[in-house]
Amino acid sequence: MHRITIPIAGMHCGGCVRAVRDALARVPSVHVEHLGVGTVTLRYDPSRTTREAVLSAIVRAGYEPAAA
């Protein structure tokens, strides 16, 4: 499992947190360890998904991930 922390721009409230959580829940093998306004720490299985898929899910939710 790979563990990464990603700063996320544009998050301001609990609704933002829910949107990102829901988007990440659709990515195979992602396990969110901590998600707060402006940052997420998660683990993922690189044999089942990629870092790029994680970042794309955040973008699809309407937020801008910083380089992790």
Q: What is the reported pLDDT for 67?
A: 65
| pLDDT greater than 80 at residue 56 | yes
Q: What is the reported pLDDT for 66?
A: 87
pTM for the full model? 0.91
Residue 25 is part of which domain span?
2-65
Average pLDDT, the chain: 95
- Count how many domains the chain has: 1
Mean pLDDT value across residues 1-27: 96
| pLDDT greater than 80 at residue 68 | no
Q: What is the CATH number of the domain that holds 9?
A: 3.30.70.100
| pLDDT greater than 80 at residue 46 | yes
Exposure string over 22-40, b if 16+ CB within 10 A, otherwise e: ebbeebeebeeeebeebbb
